[in-house]
Structure 1
Amino acid sequence: MQKLSFLVVDDASFIRDLVKRTLKSQFAQCHIDESINGRKAQSQLKKRQYDLVLCDWEMPEMSGLELLQWLREYETEREIKKTPFMMVTSRGDKSHVVEAVQSGVSDYIGKPFSSEQLLKKVFKLLSVNHRELIRAILKGSAAMRAPTTGTGNDSASLLTAKTVSAPKQVSQSSDTGGSASLLTAGSVSSKLVNQNSAGEQRTASPKASLGKVSLRSPKAQWQGMLRDINLTDAAVMIDFSESSPPGVLEQVVIDIAPKKDPDAVARINTFVTSIVLQEKNLECSRALINIHIVDDDPDKLDTLSKFVAEVR
């Protein structure tokens, strides 16, 4: 089978690992290069022709948009085939989408995203130049379906089986020193760890609140009251009367903005480490969730530090 090559560009190691894991779940023999910013990705793109580039928008030294614009000019000057380019970012407002499209982006996916959502877009882009390969993969996945199960699962669900995007939901926290710490090993965030995780060993009083915040996952979004926060962890009381609560290890983006500079919104990448229902009944619609910050973006961390200094 043909060996595909991918370039994953993101300054957050957590996101790079998630994208790589998702790609390898379907393309076991693929070649994957990674880069922490657009400047380093330039040199890689000069050396190799990739089947797909998956790139973050906000990065130090050179943004994803700048890399995309450079790549399209580079390809035009040398009269080489355009490389499929997917922008992976939390900037989903219309103006940024239009700007990316005008610059020649092939597709766009917003953070947070599930493995299934990412794979659907990856297959769509790859099918342009590798239609038969993608058909073979989809056909092979469908053939692996057990005929006696009667579950009705389609190819898309089979393609995302055993990925991190569908964690089992639990109502009580486990030790965050286990799988949670492994997800952030070696990242900038792991070096900022406070010995007392927010909301766990020193939970704020039930009436305490540091202000309203917005959270979103690949499947839903919530409004909540921030109970505690530091540079690595946060505790948020959410209302999930309109949708189900997030699950442990699920990706969640939290929007943070210093009161002195409300326009400087930092969309912080996190994952859920625990969830505690506030009532022991089936009608419960409130939960205290603890999230661990895994974003390595220096600008976001600067905004976060300013916010923490204001509320602590």
Structure 2
Amino acid sequence: MKSLFIFLVTLLSATMAQSQQLPNLQFNNDKEFKVVQFTDTHVNVEAGKNMEVFTTIKKILEIEKPDLVVLTGDVATDGNPQKTYQAFEKVFEEAKMPWIVTLGNHDSQADLSRKEVSDFLQGLSYCLNNDKGETYGNSNFVFPVKSKENKAEALIYIMDSNAYSTLKPEVDGWGWFDHSQVNWYKEKSQQYTKANNDEPLPAIAFFHIPLPEYYQAWSNKEVKAIGKRKEDECGPEINTGMFAAMLESKDIMGTFVGHDHNNDYIGVHHNVALAYGRVTKTKTYRKAPVEGARIIVLTEGERKFDSWIREVNGRKVYPCTWPDSFVN
């Protein structure tokens, strides 16, 4: 009984310490909120693989000084990924930077299950992961970005796009959003819309695997995409209607994914921005782009965002503003 009491006290103390470290997501005095998206780092601390990622992240954090970091999947490839996630924790703890991880297909291929990885992340310093088991998957949650008056002015959705087909051998390929996740998103959107006098809040969403509609954004003949497409989109073969739900809910301005290392474009489909990040893993083959990150800047009180790619060498490429840069 005494050991159980000590364990509970220790757990409570750790939880309280973490909650004291985590700031509210809030627009700054210039009414801006900056997110840096790192993706597909594929770090393996056990094997010393892709360790240069941490240098890349530190350089870009120093240049951009964001308010939030989102890692959009395929983060750790160790047999036991805890050491790699702890290495990320150290970087963000030193920078006092809140961070979020949305799981990719590789994040559940190691010794820990997807649920165990999700639970482990929720105990790390400055990590905002907060999956409550409300729907299918293990990284589904939403954070409001608030004004100085503590009013929700924008939303950041984090979603688990899952890993691989659950219908093999009939259907091969990548995972897709479960129908319950589509319903979960719609319910969350409706709740925030109702609380905002029936006006949808400006929102962005992060996940790993691109929606099936990404190719339509790239091939939009009326509005040219900005950035590069050097490989086919590796989206799921099953479309469960997440994009349609976003159109109907009218809050999502843009979605941001990883998965396809050679793509970094942002295009529009039915006036919703469908964007890739920039692969953060060190360039290891000719076709791969220079490692870096995508930057997204929200503006309080406006349905818009600025975005660009920041490369590890300091170059800023593909700057654009949604929706202004994507008008016929």
TM-score of Structure 1 vs Structure 2, range by shorter chain: 0.3 to 0.5
Higher RCO structure, 1 or 2 (CA under 8 Å, sep 6+): 2
Question: More helix by proportion, 1 or 2?
Answer: 1
